[in-house]
Amino acid sequence: MTSSTRVLFPRMPRGPRHDRRYLERPRQQGLVQRAVTEAFRKLDPRLAVANPVMFVVWCGTVLCLALTLDPRLLDAQAGARERGFNALISLTLLATLLFANFAEALAEGRGKAQADALRRTQARTQARRQMPDGSIELVDSSVLRKGDVVLVQGGDVIPADGEVTAGVASVDESAITGESAPVLKEAGSDVAGSVTGGTRILSDQLTLRISADPGKGFIDRMIALVEGAERSKTPNEIALTVLLAVLTQVFLIAVVTLPPVADVLGQAPSVVTLVALLVALIPTTIGGLLSAIGIAGMDRVAQFNVIATSGRAVEACGDINTLVLDKTGTITLGNRLAEEFMPVGGHTTAELAEVALAASCFDQTPEGRSIVRLAEKFGAALPFTAEQATGIEFSARTRMSGTDTPDGIEFRKGAVDAIKGFVRSRTGTVPAELDACFEKVSRLGGTPLAVCRGNEVVGVIYLKDIIKPGIRERFDQLRRMGIRTVMLTGDNPITAGVIAREAGVDDFIAEATPEDKIAVIQQEQKLGKLVAMTGDGSNDAPALAQANVGVAMNSGTQAAKEAANMVDLDSDPTKLIDIVTIGKQLLITRGALTTFSIANDIAKYFAILPALFAGVGLEALNVMRLASPQSAILSAMVFNALIIPALVPLALKGVQFRPMSADQLLRRNLLVYGAGGVVAPFIGIKVIDLAIGALRLI
């Protein structure tokens, strides 16, 4: 691959996804050890209070421990024999707390390990700062401020994020992307003009203008994010926390008001059994796993080599209604290739090949180079010496490019309309077949490029667009999830229509300008929809900021990366679809475990209530035929504790998401987590009760 292609597509991921290299994976062994220590450290009440549900458990544990030490603390009549039972309940409560802490620590651990790896790249370096008078001084990288100008040479670590102001050099960015192939950086280019602190320059020299103050750079942000230092709860998580807290309060009232009511019947349930009832009823399962689910969701996004600026953004992905996608690079393979020459107006193919070559000899884009290759296949040669000619760059306004020869011949190629206008302005005529060729190519889903020599249209080049394999299936999946896809392309409406149909997108905007992008987003948002988009150029920045979820390519400009709320280190636009799935998975996991947790309460009631009030004739409610009141309460508590670690893998991996309609998803998940949540504890508690009986614990 030539270097110029790498400049334009410096981070095109190669090969199937599973072959790509990711960030250094932390080792599982260390993670578990760290999580165990963290689980104990999180028992600190100052940390525990952050989770209202688990804090109630924490308080209950302390109370039960106190009653284990002195069973007569609150009730003078209590027998010392209750100490053993109190101790067992205290232990299960403690285990419940530790399991919940462990789940959270395990989820955090992966991010922490990743952050450590990133931090290693941040070792302080010396930087050569250029003073305003042009002199160079050696300074520590930590004193560099935004706007400083530094020089870096082959072998240096780039001291901070910056924009290249001069020079061309290859840079190894594997520290952040895991991709070992060097990337070419040069001044003045949109996509290759920014460098990231912590990466290493391999050869040559660059002059940089620093664009981030210390601690505010890209890597710093990444560290903060993967580490969860800036982890704020997502809107959904907050809403769920509120509901769980209120349910906890409701159960607290239900349990606290029980003793005077029971007293009427001459029943006096002990404090420990009441604590057990309360802990069994409050939604500890989801309460203990809630934060782990959120952290794990972020981590899953990170495993896809995407850095999300907030959990909110990941969650918003699940809610996306509309995806705005660029055609090139997302729906079609990045490079359109010249496929065929179609001469018009009595010209021959050889003639057209020569003119096409002449018009493309300065064109360094992959398309331009493919035209040159095709022309050379037809044996065409330049009718002038390249050194003396001037290249005319493509611009969005003229929508054509070409070459002016020293003898005043203008070779142009470009959009058919543009060329027509050009020819007419040179008092030429447009042959009638041109439109037919235009249509023919467009209907094939290709891009027609008209070619002219002076005021004479010579023919049309058929640029073939290749739709990415498998993209249609992905759009079908999205449609089943209720997500609309809109394709944006600079192509003419016919071509765009053909590609849109083939790729299976729902809507397309042809001949789109960057302004159209933001207009489409605003229009969708006005209908109350959440819009996601990908972008890389600096002119995408406003649209990325406008979109509810903006994914910037790591190969993109600094402006785009800052405006976006996610950065894809692999620069693979189709990844947005994966992120949407992760966002949905996150929400489903939360909902499923909440449903499971609440459904569990039914069985727990049937275990604990008859045990609590054995003397009032509630024996008939003991449907599980548990051995004894104490064994019943202990079994329910042990089940309550064990269900947390049992569900940790599910919380960390997320409930499997299958693209299907909401009704189907609801039916399936209700069956698994709703009905399952009702039935599982009946079985679990009974089994534990049998085990307790067999072990003669009570």
Q: Which residue, chain included where needed, has tokens 């003045």?
A: 188
Q: How far is the CB of 53 from other proteins (least distance, A)?
A: 13
**C-alpha Rg value of the chain to the nearest Å:** 33
Q: Does 595 bind other proteins (CB under 8 A)?
A: yes
Binding to other proteins in span 150-209, by CB under 8 A: none
Binding to other proteins in span 367-386, by CB under 8 A: none
Interhelix angle 82-120/629-653, nearest 10 degrees: 10
| Interface size with other proteins, residues (CB under 8 A) | 76
Q: Does 594 bind other proteins (CB under 8 A)?
A: yes
| Pick from 153, 165, 162: nearest CA to 203 | 153
Q: Does 136 bind other proteins (CB under 8 A)?
A: no
Among 178, 674, 676, 693, binds other proteins (CB under 8 A): 674
**For residue 612, what are the contacts with CB-CB under 8 A and spacing of at least 6?**
262, 267, 269, 273, 274, 277, 629, 633
Q: Does 240 bind other proteins (CB under 8 A)?
A: yes
Residue type present at position 270: S
Among 6, 34, 440, 529, binds other proteins (CB under 8 A): 529
Among 428, 440, 669, 697, binds other proteins (CB under 8 A): 669
Q: Does 587 bind other proteins (CB under 8 A)?
A: yes
3-state SS record for 246-281? HHHHHHHHHHHCHHHHHHHCCCCCCHHHHHHHHHHH
Q: Does 618 bind other proteins (CB under 8 A)?
A: yes
Among 273, 565, 585, 640, binds other proteins (CB under 8 A): 585
Residue type present at position 14: R
Q: Does 243 bind other proteins (CB under 8 A)?
A: yes
**What spatial distance separates the first Cα and last Cα of the chain, rounded to whole Å?**
74
Among 131, 246, 386, 466, binds other proteins (CB under 8 A): 246
Q: Which residue, chain included where needed, has tokens 């009730």?
A: 75
The C-alpha atoms of residue 131 and residue 433 are separated, in whole angstroms, by 63
Among 110, 129, 584, 686, binds other proteins (CB under 8 A): 584
Taking a C-beta distance cutoff of 8 angstroms, is the pair 36, 106 a contact?
Answer: no
Q: Does 524 bind other proteins (CB under 8 A)?
A: no
Q: Does 588 bind other proteins (CB under 8 A)?
A: yes
Binding to other proteins in span 492-511, by CB under 8 A: none
Report how far apart, in Å, the C-alpha atoms of 489 and of each of 191, 328, 517 are: 19, 7, 10
Q: Does 573 bind other proteins (CB under 8 A)?
A: no
Residue 305 CA to its chain's centroid (Å): 8
Provide the token pair at 248.
């906890």
Residue among 158 and 580 whose Cβ is closer to other proteins: 580
Q: Which residue, chain included where needed, has tokens 């759009």?
A: 475
Q: Does 253 bind other proteins (CB under 8 A)?
A: yes
Which residue numbers are catalytic? 326
Binding to other proteins in span 29-68, by CB under 8 A: none
Q: How far is the CB of 57 from other proteins (least distance, A)?
A: 18
Residue among 360 and 485 whose Cβ is closer to other proteins: 485
Residue among 380 and 478 whose Cβ is closer to other proteins: 478
Binding to other proteins in span 462-491, by CB under 8 A: 479-484
| Pick from 46, 176, 191: nearest CA to 115 | 176
Binding to other proteins in span 621-640, by CB under 8 A: 621
The full DSSP string for 628-648 is -HHHHHHHHHHHHHHHHHHHH
Binding mask 213-232 for other proteins (x = CB under 8 A): --------------------
The C-alpha atoms of residue 671 and residue 638 are separated, in whole angstroms, by 25
Residue among 69 and 254 whose Cβ is closer to other proteins: 254
**For residue 191, what are the contacts with CB-CB under 8 A and spacing of at least 6?**
7, 8, 10, 536, 537, 555, 556, 557
Q: Does 681 bind other proteins (CB under 8 A)?
A: no
Q: How far is the CB of 244 from other proteins (least distance, A)?
A: 9
Binding mask 318-357 for other proteins (x = CB under 8 A): xx-x------------------------------------
